[in-house]
Amino acid sequence: MHRENYINVLRDEIVETVANHLTPPAVKYGFSEVPLEADIKWRPMVLIIGNYSSGKSSLINEFLGAEIQDTGQAPTDDSFTVITYDEAVSDDPKIRVTEERDGKVLLNDPEYPFSTLKKQGQRFAAHFRLKKSNSPFLKDLALIDTPGMLDSITERDRGYDYQEVIGDLARKAGLVLVLFDAHKAGTVREAYKSIRDTLSSATFEDRIIFVLNRIDECSSFSDLLRVYGTLCWNLSQITGRKDIPKIRLTYSPNAAPKVGGAAAYRKAEYLPLLENQREDLKRSILDTPRRQLDHLASFVEIQGERLIHYLEALSTYREKRRQFRLRKILTGSLAGIFFGGVTALFVMMVGLLNPILMGTAAGAGALAFMLFWMGYVQKRREEAFHRHIVENVDALTDVEDQTRKDSWEAVREIVRKHLVKEKGGYSLFDLKRDLSSLRKRTARASQEIREAMSEVAALSDDEDAEFEIPILSINEVARPVGLVDDYFQDYRYNL
């Protein structure tokens, strides 16, 4: 089995692990409304976002080798477009759009991992679509083109929560490209929120690539440096990082102006020096299926940690509630005995000294008090206890290190919402049994995945794989991008 085929088998193995070990308790206890593997079972995806007119569609057409997306200086498309490979016409030498389907198909077909977006409503469904193409570039991945980000537009204008959609797609994607163009190296309001808040919470830094596009439209190399420096400054302010993230430089020759401009742009003295940047970006995108294996392995570990933390919090809640209930029942029982004694004393004081009558009165008094206690006092006390826990949900866990803090931050609101909705309506015995099983299975699965990935990481592209557990780790390999990249690296840190 060659490496590329092997990678596909590995991906299936990881998805099966999630489906068999993580999804059942996640759905059972309200950690997730949909199977966890729904986000990872489809092909690797590359999400492309950016300001309007940043050249997203032109760059996609450049990669695919045909005019698949409409292009223009003004915003030309306000839809989220999933572009995937059509194997049925793979032998056709002409690259083209072979099929188009509307958003309802994507949202309701279990083949695609987009069912979580149905909550965005009909307005979003009308701005969501699928395109199939026979471009070889799409053979092992899918691209997602997005509406250009603007300053003035609001959620009310769009009719759906744009940031929530971006976050959902970023969680599913193996790579996120954030595009800027040479004319607008600044960031509009939607871009600022996407980079600062949405992407930082939905995905990891190593999955985000910043791209300065349309560099062929800079009038000179010094103009390019000015634009580059402006973007570096803006990103450093947005991300809040001390180090400036790496920025790829690219352009689309086929999108250059036709009237005397295309040739002039290609003859610009600095463009030949940056061809390695364009090729590096393309390789990074094509390498998404391999790198996604590491992401999937991390997905198993991270989702396992979060699910375990979630179930631990629910278990702690049930333990606290049980202890609280037992204490209050004991208090009510003692109070009932006392009330029964008082009732017997009252009967004796009125002159009814019959032991049987006194015992009956004491029992009736104790029973009446216990019914009142259990039916009113105990119920109100437990409701107050529940509200207190919901308001102080952090008391359900210990966060002694950063890993625990991160996982708790991810599940904290899920725990709160579940307690508000379900009020702990589950068996503590079943919960502890499932939690113990989950710990063992997750630890074993994580170890097997990492061991197998380590064993096959050295496989060459043509080497056959004969390991029992097909898992592979492909870390992004740094590629030399030439002297100009070193120049830009020095320039960025001397700003």
* CB-side neighbour CA atoms (13 Å) of 32: 20
Calculate what percentage of the chain has a pLDDT beyond 90. 18
**Ranked by mean pLDDT, which of 259-268, 463-472, 474-483 comes out on top?**
259-268
Take residue 368 and report the two structure tokens written for it: 């009446």
Predicted confidence (pLDDT) per residue in 253-288, tens digit: 876 654 444 444 445 677 887 888 888 999 999 988
> Does the pLDDT value for residue 132 go beyond 90?
yes
pLDDT at 335 (0 to 100): 80
Average pLDDT over residues 448-465: 61
> Does the pLDDT value for residue 482 go beyond 70?
no
Per DSSP, the residues of 338-371 read HHHHHHHHHHHHTT---HHHHHHHHHHHHHHHHH
> Does the pLDDT value for residue 492 go beyond 60?
no
Pick the range with the lowest mean pLDDT from 48-62, 381-395, 441-455, 461-475: 461-475
**Residues with Cβ < 8 Å from 446, sequence gap 6 or more?**
297, 300, 301, 304
pLDDT at 307 (0 to 100): 93
Q: Smallest Cα–Cα separation from 47: which of 193, 194, 229, 187? A: 194
pLDDT at 253 (0 to 100): 80
Band of the pLDDT at 188, cuts 50, 70, 90?
low
Average pLDDT over residues 185-208: 81
> Does the pLDDT value for residue 137 go beyond 90?
yes
| Contact status, residue 81 vs residue 106, Cβ threshold 8 Å | no
Token pair 């070889």 in the structure block, residue: 136
Dihedral angle computed from the Cα positions of residues 458, 463, 467 and 469, in that order, rounded to the nearest 10 degrees: 70
**Ranked by mean pLDDT, which of 59-63, 199-203, 344-348, 448-452 comes out on top?**
59-63
The conformation of residue 148, written as its DSSP 8-state character, comes to P
Predicted confidence (pLDDT) per residue in 423-454, tens digit: 777 788 888 999 999 988 888 888 777 776 76
Band of the pLDDT at 233, cuts 50, 70, 90?
confident
Q: Smallest Cα–Cα separation from 142: which of 98, 68, 65, 84? A: 84
Residue 127 to residue 471: CA distance in whole angstroms: 37
Residue 6 to residue 470: CA distance in whole angstroms: 7
Q: Hey, how many other C-beta atoms are within 10 angstroms of the C-beta on 82?
A: 23
Instruction: Evaluate if pTM is beyond 0.85.
Output: no
Residue 83 to residue 282: CA distance in whole angstroms: 16
> Does the pLDDT value for residue 480 go beyond 60?
no
Take residue 130 and report the two structure tokens written for it: 């699928």
Band of the pLDDT at 491, cuts 50, 70, 90?
very low
- Between 262 and 173, the more confident residue is 173
Q: Residue 209 in 3-state DSSP? A: strand
Average pLDDT over residues 71-99: 80
Q: Hey, how many other C-beta atoms are within 10 angstroms of the C-beta on 24?
A: 15
Q: Hey, how many other C-beta atoms are within 10 angstroms of the C-beta on 368?
A: 14
Q: Smallest Cα–Cα separation from 424: which of 336, 323, 303, 341? A: 323
Dihedral angle computed from the Cα positions of residues 102, 108, 113 and 116, in that order, rounded to the nearest 10 degrees: 110
Average pLDDT over residues 190-200: 84
pLDDT at 83 (0 to 100): 95
- Between 372 and 479, the more confident residue is 372
* Domains of the chain, CATH where assigned: 1-40+290-475 (no CATH), 42-287+478-493 (3.40.50.300)
Average pLDDT over residues 212-239: 85
Take residue 388 and report the two structure tokens written for it: 């207190």
> Does the pLDDT value for residue 495 go beyond 80?
no
pLDDT at 268 (0 to 100): 66
> Does the pLDDT value for residue 371 go beyond 90?
no
Calculate what percentage of the chain has a pLDDT beyond 70. 81
Q: Please give the span between the terminal C-alpha atoms of the chain, in angstroms, as a whole number.
A: 50
CA distances from 363 to 333, 340, 347 (A): 12, 6, 12
**Residues with Cβ < 8 Å from 51, sequence gap 6 or more?**
148, 149, 150, 179, 180, 181, 184, 187, 188, 191
pLDDT at 46 (0 to 100): 95
Take residue 153 and report the two structure tokens written for it: 């537009």
pLDDT at 344 (0 to 100): 72
Pick the range with the lowest mean pLDDT from 28-32, 328-332, 347-351, 420-424: 347-351
Token pair 């840190």 in the structure block, residue: 493
**Residues with Cβ < 8 Å from 419, sequence gap 6 or more?**
314, 317, 386, 389, 390, 393
Q: Smallest Cα–Cα separation from 429: which of 351, 339, 332, 314? A: 314
How many residues can be counted in the chain?
495
pLDDT at 60 (0 to 100): 92
Instruction: Indicate the helix (H) or strand (E) that contains 391.
Output: helix 378-391
Bridge partners, residue 101, by sequence? 130
pLDDT at 352 (0 to 100): 64
Residue 424 to residue 60: CA distance in whole angstroms: 49
**Residues with Cβ < 8 Å from 235, sequence gap 6 or more?**
187, 195, 210, 244, 245, 247
> Does the pLDDT value for residue 472 go beyond 50?
no
Average pLDDT over residues 325-344: 81
